[in-house]
């Protein structure tokens, strides 16, 4: 493969078919230690990513449980 003057590459059809990279599928390019990784962008957000950073500061699980239980 070669990179075009406009920075474009063509992924061979057999690979597009194999990995479901059809028209209008969004992909992301991720830098890795070995080079670049091209992967389909997923529509769903990972559950861990949704809650990352919620529990910050001096947060005590036991106090929260007592509060929720109304004790």
What is the structure's pLDDT at 31? 93
CA 55 to chain centroid, in Å, comes to 21
Compare 52 and 25 and report the one with higher pLDDT: 25
- For residue 57, pLDDT over 70 is answered with no
What is the structure's pLDDT at 11? 92
**Residue labelled with tokens 């990995």:** 19
Angle at 38 between CA 17 and CA 35, to 5 degrees: 135
Domain range list for the chain: 13-69
pLDDT digits (tens, 9 = 90+) for 4-47: 999 999 999 999 999 889 888 889 899 999 999 999 887 667 77
What is the structure's pLDDT at 4? 94
- Integer-rounded Cα Rg, in Å, for the chain is 22
């Amino acid at each position: 493969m070669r990179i075009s003057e406009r920075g474009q590459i063509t992924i061979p059809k057999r690979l597009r078919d194999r990995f479901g990279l059809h028209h209008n599928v969004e992909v992301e390019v991720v830098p890795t230690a070995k080079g670049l990784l091209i992967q389909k962008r997923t529509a769903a957000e990972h559950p861990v990513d949704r809650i990352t950073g919620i529990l910050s500061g001096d947060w005590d699980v036991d106090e929260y449980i007592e509060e929720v239980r109304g004790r």
